[in-house]
Structure 1
Amino acid sequence: MAARPPQHGSLRRAFNVVTDWVMGKKVVGRDAAGNVYYRWYEGSGEERLERREVQWSTAYMFYDPNDIPSEWRMWLRKQRDEPPSEEEMRQNAAKKAALAARVAVLDEAERLRRLRQQTVGMPDQHAGAQPDMARFLQQMGSGGRGAATGPAPGGGGTPGPSSGTPGGGDFKPDTWRPGSSS
Structure 2
Amino acid sequence: MSRKPGNISRFFTNLKNSFFVAKQTSKYIGSDHFGNEYYEVIGDSSRNIRGQRYIKEKAGLSTHDIPDVPVEWSAWLRGRRKNPPTEEEIKRNYGKMMQKKLRAEQLEKKFSQVSEENESDKSLITETIISNDPKTPFPKYEDLEDTPGQKYNKEGTEIK
Corresponding residue number in structure 2 for 1:74 = 75
How far residue 121 of structure 1 moved from its aligned partner, in angstroms, is 4.6
CA-to-partner distance for each residue in 1:111-147, whole Å, 9 max, x for gaps? 11221123x251696xxxxx66xx46xx3xxx713x3
Q: Percent identity?
A: 22
Counterpart residue number, 2:98:
97
1: distance between equivalents of 2:123 and 2:146? 48
Deviation at 1:179, TM superposition (A): 9.5
Match of 1:165 among 122, 140, 151: 140
1:43-74 C-alpha deviation (Å, 9 max, x unpaired):
55161311111111142326334x20011001
Cα distance in 2 for partners of 1:23, 1:96 equals: 38
Q: Tell me the C-alpha RMSD between the 2 structures.
A: 3.6
Q: How many pairs align?
A: 131
Q: Residues of 1 paired with 2:35 and 2:65: CA distance?
A: 12
Contact 1:114 1:124 in 2 (8 A): no
- 8 A contact 1:42–1:48 mirrored in 2: yes
Superposed CA deviations along residues 9-34 of structure 1, whole A, max 9, x for unmatched, are xxxxxxxxxxxxx7411110111111
* Preserved CA contact (<8 Å) 1:35 1:54: yes
Gaps of 5+ in 1: 1-21, 126-130, 154-163
The reply to whether residue 59 of structure 1 matches residue 60 of structure 2 is yes
Inter-CA distance 55–121: structure 2 relative to 1 (3 Å threshold) = same
Q: 1:105 to 1:123 in 2, by over 3 A?
A: farther
Q: Cα offset for 1:81?
A: 1.0
Q: Which residue of 1 aligns with 2:40?
A: 39
Structure 2 segments unaligned to the other structure (5+ residues): 1-22
TM-score (norm 2): 0.64
Q: Which has the higher contact order (CA 8 A, sep 6+)?
A: 1
| Structure 1 residue 102: Cα displacement | 1.1
Aligned partner letter, 2:77: L
Contact 2:42 2:50 in 1 (8 A): yes
Amino acid at match of 2:86: S
